[in-house]
Structure 1
Amino acid sequence: MRPVVAERETKRDVPVATQLAPMIAIFSDTHSADGHALEGEALTAAREADVVVHAGDFTTTSALEAFQAECDRLFAVHGNADGAAVRDRLPSARVLEEAGVRVAVTHRRDGGETGLAMFGRSRGADVVVSGHTHRPTVVETPDCLLLNPGSHADPRGNRQGFAVLEESEDGDSDVLEGEIREPDGTLLESFTVEGSE
């Protein structure tokens, strides 16, 4: 993971020659009435990422707009706790292709892991990002990797979490190295996502 910067220094402030490999920051279940509730390395990741994925349950438009203000590209879906104003602005599912990997995003799917894997398979996804449980988890299935970053702000008895995906250090453009971390930077789990040919 990139080092934490002391002040708000984003990739826009870094000369092109010294920028790091593309990064995807992944969040879910903010459940905030008045802002993004990001802090520490979670806030740094949102500011420095090339794209931020959010798997829903901002709860309010102020939380959604606070996320939009912190990142260059927000790729989000709505969740079951999002109000009508958020639901009007966001779809329930999306697909993103970034750094050779296809990412399908939804808040939740009936059928648990099987339902999420079927959702991913139907969209040709290498990884499915979901939320809803507030529990940081990574599950490998025959079809795709299932990733729930947890909640950085409202863990509900689980550990706080967010995830980051970056190109592998060996330069393989179709492999992303991933980590789930707590907002203070504590590593919860490492994993790898391989893009399909």
Structure 2
Amino acid sequence: MEKRYQQLYSYYYADCLVVCPDCGKDAVVKNENNYKEAALECRHCNLRKTGYDMVLYKAVAKLHCPICAHSIRVERCVKEKLENISVECGECDTKLDIKPRYERYVSNYSKKTNGLKQDDVFGCPLYFQDDCKGNLFWAKNREHLLEMEAYVSSELRTLPYRMRMVERLPAFIKEAKNREAVLKILQKWKNSYK
């Protein structure tokens, strides 16, 4: 009898498993879709960050020196908005305290990742990712991994109503000729994370 695909999980993206930026082991990003509630936690090195920790401000000031009329442009990254910042004219060395304009942005740990998939808030590479026949193959977490394994290993792949994750899988994962390679990678990931 042929093995029929049955959905294991209805939601896969509650937490995202990533590589810790401090120790390089597995860490968890919670609430990845909302930086205000997002949290990065590593059980190995006890790293704890929130989405708010990643918020920075760029203080921007453009003016002309009141003494020599030289153009002054200042951009500084700061953690908190300040009432005034100190600037110095590069021409006459006059020191000024001015009120800057602020631009808010969310920083992250993003480093060169050679095309690897990252979480959206902290910019950490996903823990489960590998090359599969020239394609980037990744899973967000263990549930996502197990769901893909259940789908790829089944011979009958009739989809339940509104099975969005499986519908969106890249073609190389669904192709029968890649079944063995995909399952081998999924098994390696399962064995690497207990």
TM-score range, shorter chain: under 0.3
Larger radius of gyration: 2
Structure of greater relative contact order (alpha carbons < 8 Å, 6+ residues apart): 2
User: Please, what TM-score do these two structures have when normalized by structure 1?
Assistant: 0.24
